[in-house]
Homo-oligomer: A and B are copies of this chain.
Amino acid sequence: MSLQGAGPFVVGIDLGGTKTLAGIVGADNQILGRSKRSTPAKEGGPAIVQTIVQCVDDALKNAGLTRNDIAAAGIGSPGPLNPDTGVVLFSANLNIRNFPLGPDLSAILQRPVLLQNDVRVGGYGEFRLGAGRGYQNIVAAFVGTGIGGCLILDGKVFTGSTGNAGELGHIIVKTGGPKCGCGAHGCVEAIASKTAIARRISKAIRKGHPTVLSDKLAKKSGRLKSGELADAIARNDLVAIREVHRAAHYLGVGLSNLSNVLGPEVFIIGGGVAGALGDPYVDLVRASARQHMLTDPDEKIQIVRAALGDDAGILGASLLARERFV
């Protein structure tokens, strides 16, 4: 038997509002088996736990292992949540409130379970195994439906006194700008998320601007997949190109703010939008950030694309669980 992928094995779970991912991870941080299921977000907590367990069993099967082979599990979940008790305090996406996700899953798997915020888990994965390897001060921004962030300061995940540090989507870069879900106006999330881009494109459609996204945005009441946005850009759709430029510009402003305050070594840009649009998108964000930050003549501060894609959550969750329990 090869040492690669040797145990003890840990399950990493990435619980999202639309899909649940699980992976069985060896001590060398290789993923031996994966699985993916739709999250039954409308059916509440017990159905979600059921789906997670099925997902874990699928991944174990794909790895040629059984529940007896795993030592612990880690879950990244939308929050806010309490990592000490394993309780998700509230999630609009998952339709749960004060739900003991960690303890319930632990009772079924008969293994210790670590619960942590999904964005923090993804950031930790990138820090340890992805684009953040070798750095000690990192700001990770994940751009999708919303914009989440994770700070690694002096080599540790920084959660602040509130336990929720890292909410860089709610940096206000345009006072009086578009209303954000948080209640404020002009947050980065309200201008630079996929949701914000879709809203701007819908508005352009209503104004009569031609775009290949007309049908999709009309059909789906304003929802847009990152891949559809990438397709539109590949087809030289001027409306999509303009709005992605604008969003990247404002995300760059937000990152420049953090650059001046935190002086990190590297910004990591991840999430569905960065994954689908790739390096050209990250190039736009970087150009805007450099334009707005205080001088960094030696370009010491790196701005790079996330390296782990969808695996960031699985790997980060498994690492945190392994460090805590194994």
Interface residues of A (CB under 8 A from B): 136-137, 149, 151, 153-154, 158-168, 170-175, 182, 184, 250, 253, 256-258, 260-265, 291-296, 300-301
Contacts and interface: CB of A to CB of B under 8 A. Distances in A.
Contact of A161 (B136, B160, B161, B164): B136
B172 A256 contact: yes
Contact of A172 (B158, B292, B300): B292
Nearest to A292: B184
B300 A262 contact: no
Contacts of A161: 136-137, 263-265, 300-301
Contacts of A151: 261-262
26 contacts: A137-B161, A151-B261, A153-B158, A154-B158, A158-B262, A160-B263, A160-B264, A161-B263, A162-B263, A162-B296, A162-B301, A163-B263, A164-B263, A164-B294, A165-B261, A165-B262, A167-B261, A170-B257, A171-B260, A172-B173, A172-B257, A173-B175, A174-B174, A174-B175, A175-B250, A261-B261
User: In the complex, which of the residues A166, A263, A300 has the most CB atoms of chain B within 10 Å of its own CB atom?
Assistant: A263
Decide if the interface of chain A is mainly helix, strand, loop or mixed: loop
B260 A168 contact: yes
B256 A258 contact: no
Nearest to A250: B175
A308 B172 CA distance: 31
Given A261-B149, A261-B166, A261-B258, A160 B175 contact: no
Query: Which are the 8 A-B pairs with shortest beta-carbon distances?
Result: A160-B263, A162-B263, A165-B263, A167-B260, A161-B265, A170-B260, A171-B257, A137-B161
B153 A137 contact: no
Nearest to A298: B162
Given A153-B153, A161-B301, 7 more contacts: A158-B262, A161-B265, A162-B301, A167-B261, A168-B260, A170-B293, A172-B173
Nearest to A263: B160
A17 B293 CA distance: 25
A293 to B, nearest CB: 8
A166 B164 CA distance: 20
Contacts of A171: 171, 257, 260-261
Contacts of A153: 153, 158
A136 B294 CA distance: 27
A264 B159 CA distance: 9
A97 B35 CA distance: 60
User: In the complex, which of the residues A149, A168, A184 has the most CB atoms of chain B within 10 Å of its own CB atom?
Assistant: A184
